[in-house]
């Protein structure tokens, strides 16, 4: 009569936290909704307004809509497309230029703003000019 050891330790699966996602944790709901809206907004005009035969419409829609849908489903840098474009717009509005002073470069007085240049040695030069 062998006594078997029982363990109360369980392995937590990798998809444990993927409960709020679609297709087994592959797609986020926000990205999926954005992809469907984008494909609908771009695909409807292509389907209805292109005056070409059906085969060419299928090719054009495959070339344009498939990459758009894939990018919209994946997102950019972990964000959805709307979030990403919001970050880019906010950056564009609040951007600023940074100016650094170069080491070893002698700036002209007119170009230096807000800094008082030291006047060491100017008395000696004036005294020599007067002699």
Q: Which long-range contacts (CB under 8 A, 24 or more apart) does 60-69 make?
A: 65/39, 68/35, 68/38, 68/39, 68/42, 69/35, 69/38, 69/39
Per residue of the chain (131 residues), what is the pLDDT tens digit?
566 777 788 887 776 766 778 777 788 999 999 999 999 999 999 999 999 999 999 999 999 999 999 999 999 988 999 999 999 999 999 888 777 777 777 777 765 555 555 555 555 555 555 55
Domain spans in the chain, listed from the N-terminal domain onward = 29-85
State the Cα–Cα distance between residues 16 and 108, nearest whole angstrom: 64
């Amino acid at each position: 009569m062998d006594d078997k050891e029982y363990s109360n330790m369980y392995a937590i699966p990798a998809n444990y936290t993927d409960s709020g996602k679609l297709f087994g944790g592959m797609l986020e709901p926000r990205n999926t909704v954005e992809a469907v809206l984008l494909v609908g907004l771009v695909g409807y005009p292509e389907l209805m307004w292109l005056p070409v035969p059906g085969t060419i419409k299928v090719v054009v829609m495959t070339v344009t809509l498939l990459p758009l849908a894939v990018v919209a489903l994946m997102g950019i840098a972990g964000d959805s497309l709307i979030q990403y474009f919001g970050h880019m717009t906010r950056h564009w509005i609040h951007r600023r230029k940074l100016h650094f002073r170069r080491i070893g470069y002698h700036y002209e007085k007119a170009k230096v703003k807000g800094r008082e240049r030291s006047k060491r040695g100017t008395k000696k030069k004036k005294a020599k000019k007067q002699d």
